[in-house]
Amino acid sequence: MNFKTSLKRAKGLGSAKEGTKHWLAQRVSAVALIILVIWMISAFLQFPVADIYGGGLSLLKTREIAMEWISHPLNSLLCIFLLIAMFYHGALGMRVILEDYVHNELTKVLSIIAVNILSFAAAVIGIFSVLSSFLNG
């Protein structure tokens, strides 16, 4: 016999009881990205991109300019923040999309795990690359 009251039973059903954190994390990372992306775009436009793409600048010189830029602590620090916010926000967003469109439970869970692992790995590789350039640049 089931002694649970109707309220107790209903409380176990319905909403996922979580998601507020996910929702908030998506917004916090979004606000961080607004600032970081605008910074990155304006930084990118400081480079002589027209010369690089027009072939007026050698590959060696191109890398030299980039290394000079990343050797400034603020630039490499913001670059690392950008990587973290970007892959965090991306993984959260991809999760929502996969939850909405993948209906097979196993495929859904596995693809979300794959997205998380790939995002984490890419962010780590990116951070190490920035640090390596910062130290050697």
Nearest distance in Å: CB 8, other proteins: 32
Contact flag: residue 90 with other proteins (CB under 8 A): yes
**Three-state DSSP class for 12?**
coil
| Residue whose CB is less far from other proteins, 4 or 27 | 27
Tell me the C-alpha distance between 65 and 2, whole Å.
73
- The window from 5-13, 14-22, 49-57, 105-113 that contacts other proteins (CB under 8 A) reads 49-57
Nearest distance in Å: CB 26, other proteins: 10
**Cα 67 to the center of its chain, rounded Å:** 23
Nearest distance in Å: CB 9, other proteins: 28
Contact flag: residue 54 with other proteins (CB under 8 A): yes
CB half-sphere exposure, 126, CA atoms < 13 A: 18
Tell me the C-alpha distance between 42 and 6, whole Å.
59
